[in-house]
Amino acid sequence: MSGEPKDGNTISLTKEELRSIVSSAVGAAVQSANEKSSSIFAESMEKLAAAIIESKKPYVDPRNAENEKAMRESMRQVNERMHAQVVASQATCPHLQGSSELSDFSGQLSSLVIHRLDSGVVVGICTNCQKQIFSDDPDIEVQKIFRMKSGNRMSSAGIRNFVDPKAAMAAGRLKDRA
């Protein structure tokens, strides 16, 4: 046995050639590993940054969101009922002193608090139902209410002179919220 392979394919290398081949193979493997690890490192840094940003956001419990939505809907319904109740109360109120359901007896005087604005328009507010009526309203029923004797004295804001008093009265009038 001479130490030669029997197939006849022999390669002879010098020590320097073998060292060069091994060195370049190890260098290529190390470079490939460095590139791979740097891309993995960059990717993990991106994931870490995204996780940190996400962790800063407050936690929103889905049940709380559902509860808030239900509460908003409930409050909307309550507000609609309250508005309907106010409108019904104002429609049925006789605007007389003592006509509130909390009063023991009803009087003959109107329950309007009357105030003259500086524009000249007179505003009446019922102390029972909070309805606001205006002296320049063409409605006959409103005019009847204004002609009733009130249990309250009229207050006044003062007097100003306008070039066009009717336009000033119309501009100063509160708009209905209905």
Whole-angstrom CA distances from 8 to 5, 11, 12, 13, 33 are 6, 10, 12, 16, 37
Angle at 141 between CA 128 and CA 100, to 5 degrees: 15
CA distance 80 to 76: 6
Strands 122-126 and 112-116: antiparallel
| 165: confidence class by pLDDT, cuts 50, 70, 90 | confident
The model's pLDDT over 8-35, given as tens digits with 9 standing for 90+, comes to 678 888 888 888 888 888 888 888 888 8
Q: What is the pTM of this model?
A: 0.52
Percent of the chain with pLDDT over 70: 92
123 and 168, same domain (yes or no): yes
168 and 121, same domain (yes or no): yes
27 and 53, same domain (yes or no): yes
52 and 86, same domain (yes or no): no
70 and 47, same domain (yes or no): no
139 and 156, same domain (yes or no): yes
The answer as to whether 145 is a domain residue is yes
Residue 143, pLDDT above cutoff 90: no
